[in-house]
Structure 1
């Protein structure tokens, strides 16, 4: 039957690749997709998710729109300069028009109904700001036993992108991220920038992907994204952040993880949105003011980069299911 997966997303070019990765994987039961503000406004992220699923021949997957803004404080900036004004390099309309409307009732209602109906643990892959997931866990704690694990793209161990130390998804709603990563007892895997940047793919990889119809449609979404990463990488390639996390969600162990306590900076100084990963040895983690929460998060620290690239490429080149 395949492992059960829900994706929470803010498409976004790398989100589009991640959704397609799950939608085209025959060993995955993609139960639903929920959308959140982030790279671009909620209206765009929802339309983009519907269009990517239509491209992949998966109009059967329900989509529900979620949070349009962070839990508490306004989002400081979007990422249109990276993903294009519509989130897909201005090319969202090049994807097929969706055959279904978003589900009535919104993202949290869909998440609750899918989890309540599940007869085995469900993996949730949040690849945007964590607002919907924080709302779900806060308002519906009875569904937590149905969540096998949360595999999220976000955070950084030694680097940021929105600021020197904060990664975009966490920085967009630090209070939500803290609720999920620090306060809740659901198992979490955090796939940080440090690893996703090491998994960047080249234009040669994209050219190989473009040999298939769906791959060609996905690579056509990348011009603005390529231009942005040409500046940050210093070579022609892109970082498929969210696809790295979804690869781990659907193939547990493709990333190597280590357990660390984490704190999320929710102050208003230059560290806001930073994930503080405590890499001290357990005996050095202190007591009193220096103590850390007993909860640990599995932080992805390594992978077979070439093998991961082949895994993602192979699945994205598949044909639309009959």
Structure 2
């Protein structure tokens, strides 16, 4: 039986890859995609999601998510993904358009409450909408299989000194998710850096099909790593955690999110040595087999026809 999945995302080039891996998977039933602010503003992330699902020829419901964090000013990463978030490829006009009749959180509730089997929430952008869903619909939480997120850092950050971009985008929302009691699995930033797409892999991807050629062109504009020395496929790791968990080393531990520090807001304290003496609340990937990841990555995109 396929696993029911809702994806909260902020495309973003590595988000686009994650969406392809998820929507073309024969093991996942992607029922809803909710683009929100993050790498670029929500207008761009919605437009990018519409273009992607149209290009993929996937009839999957799109509902726009939050425009900003719960209480903070927005940050963004157009320096990494380009001004629109997906520069480098001329997409055809989108025909798969977002549903504007309700909010992403309401749509999540509709899907989760009506599903006959449990639903997995995938967070590969800021966790604002997942936090709001948890807050507004506690009656749905028993129907959540797990929350799988890409975010956090095992040591230093890529936005702040100690904070990774997705978690730093909305620290309060991130804390709400980790305090929810739900089953949570995490792919931190460093694991994404282990799973680089090297130049020879990009060449393989280019030759696969029209999806591969599109990604090759996007990769040429992506600044997450470098085209010459390897690109960081951060968000793809969340999909790999679901579909290929055996290629990861995962550790059950406590994850606490800093919200009060002036210099450390959004920092993820992944307590691998049990300094905090608190119960485990997440399984955290601490490493990935990069060779097996590359093989899976190319094979999975090869099925994207």
Q: Quickly name the TM-score band, shorter chain normalised.
A: over 0.9
1:134-153 correspondence to structure 2 within 5 Å: 134-153=131-150
Q: Deviations over 1:236-291 (max 9, x none)?
A: 2210100011111233444221011111111242211110111224xxx4xxxxx5
Q: Any idea what SS the aligned residue of 2:186 has?
A: strand
Shift of 1:176: 0.3
Cα pair 1:185 1:295 within 8 Å, conserved: no
Equivalent position of 2:298 in the other structure: 313
Match of 2:219 among 212, 218, 222: 222
Equivalences for residues 202-217 of structure 1 within 5 A: 202-211=198-207, 212-217=209-214
How does the TM-score come out when normalised to structure 2?
A: 0.95
Contact 2:127 / 2:174 at 8 angstroms: preserved in 1? yes
Task: Give 1:224 deviation, angstroms.
Answer: 2.5
Question: How many matched pairs?
Answer: 303
**CA drift at 1:79:** 0.3
State TM-score, norm by structure 1: 0.90
- How far, CA to CA, are the matches of 2:173 and 2:247 in structure 1? 27
1:292-303 equivalence runs, <5 A: 292-303=277-288
Compared CA separation, residues 128 and 319, structure 1 to 2 (3 A): closer
Are the aligned partners of 1:3 and 1:250 in contact in 2 as well (CA < 8 Å)? no
Q: Which runs of 5+ in 1 are unaligned?
A: 286-290
Distance 1:267 1:313 in 2: 42
4+ residue segments displaced more than 6 Å: none
Show the counterpart of 1:67.
66
CA contact (8 A) 1:88 1:222 kept: no
Residue in 2 aligned with 1:4? Answer: 4
- Secondary structure at 1:5 match in 2: strand
SS at match of 1:241: coil
Q: Which residue is 1:129 aligned to?
A: 126
Post-superposition CA distance 1:60-115 (Å, at most 9, x none): 1101101000001112x310000000001254xx1232223212202111111110
CA-atom RMSD in angstroms: 1.6
* 1:85 maps to which of 74, 83, 86: 83
1:151-300 matched pairs, under 5 angstroms: 151-181=148-178, 183-211=179-207, 212-226=209-223, 229-230=225-226, 235-281=228-274, 285=275, 291-300=276-285
CA contact (8 A) 2:39 2:85 kept: yes
Work out the CA distance in 2 between the residues paired with 1:292 and 1:67: 35
* Alignment check: 8 A CA contact 2:51 2:96 kept: no
**Unpaired runs of 5+ in structure 2?**
none
Verify: 1:99 aligned to 2:95, yes or no. Answer: yes
Spell out, residue by residue over 1:176-221, the C-alpha distance to the aligned partner (whole angstroms, 9 max, x if none): 000001x201100111011110111112111100112110011211
Asked whether the 8 Å contact 2:194–2:288 carries over to 1, the reply is no
